[in-house]
Amino acid sequence: MLEHLTTETRNEKTMNLDEMSIFDFLTTMNEEDEKVASAIKKELPSIAKAVEAIIKAKKQGGRLIYIGAGTSGRIGLLDAVECPPTFGTNPDEVIGLIAGGEKAFIKAVEGAEDSKELGMEDLQNIRLTKADIVVGIAASGRTPYVIGALEYANSIEAQTVAVSCNKGSDIGKVANIAIEVVNGPEVLTGSTRLKAGTAQKLVCNMLSTASMVGIGKVYGNLMVDVQLTNEKLVERAKRIVMEATSCTYDTAEEYLAKANCNSKVAIVMILTGLSYEESLHRLEQTQGFIRQAIVN
């Protein structure tokens, strides 16, 4: 029942929320938000297991699939759509699914989250395979749509992860790996777009970023697979090449042109003196890891 969920209980510090001054309320809210990072810290072992599973799936050609309803679904979608421009992934490598379909990102689709069958069907529609990994996100940990999706993924032997904000969650019991970040009650009772939403966003940040590092999408702390889709990103790529190789702006611009706007190839060309074709071959041999490609 909802009343037994931490995310649904009342916060003793905000019982008189409607009587508090704006500053006092903001101070209290800020203090509550500070608890999120500490709560996530307790779940780092489980998050690490999930990252390892994602890396394994990706190296075997599998996809990372986030699935959730409402705020949770939107957070998964947000992380998914940022992966192509940030890490150069194809749009179908990291997928976000939300109960009710894409239109539910803007406007809630009533009842969609209550259907286990819909969660299963949405995974069937993208032709889920056992090579994929499914991350079910639900603050309450009891959303039928997410449970149905995880149960279906398990049935075809795909790896599953659950991200919730309640201990002993239903989705955590279904998934192979359970990440349960307990932040305590929200300042506005039951409004899980607040601390719970923040926690879910931070966990998704970790899952995608750490796994992309693990498959060679990063050199040092540089986004070397960034896609040059606008002027800002073109300039960012030049700075990335400069930082990675200690070259000048003009050299970075020259080699990016020679490398067909591929930052990783440009970096390997500068650091090794190899041609475009040779540098590309080195990267292919090392599965995209620059650090390995530049070793003689």
Quick check: is 121 catalytic?
Answer: no
Show Cβ contacts of residue 283 under 8 Å, excluding neighbours closer than 6 positions.
Answer: 264, 265, 268, 289, 290, 293
- d(CA 136, CA 295) in angstroms, rounded, equals 40
Angle among Cα 190, 106, 25 to the nearest 5 degrees reads: 35
First vs last C-alpha separation in the chain: 61
- d(CA 119, CA 124) in angstroms, rounded, equals 9
* 51-64 residues labelled b (16+ CB within 10 A) or e (exposed): bebbbbbbeeebbb
- d(CA 243, CA 46) in angstroms, rounded, equals 34
Quick check: is 102 catalytic?
Answer: no
Beta strands in the chain (DSSP E): 64-68, 94-98, 133-137, 159-164, 177-180
The one catalytic residue in 8, 34, 43, 82 is 82
Look up residue 275 and give its two tokens: 């041609």
Look up residue 168 and give its two tokens: 């002993």
Show Cβ contacts of residue 226 under 8 Å, excluding neighbours closer than 6 positions.
Answer: 85, 86, 87, 88, 233, 236, 237, 240, 263
The one catalytic residue in 113, 180, 186, 253 is 113
Beta strands in 41-158 (DSSP E): 64-68, 94-98, 133-137
Look up residue 257 and give its two tokens: 């042109």
Residues designated catalytic:
82, 113
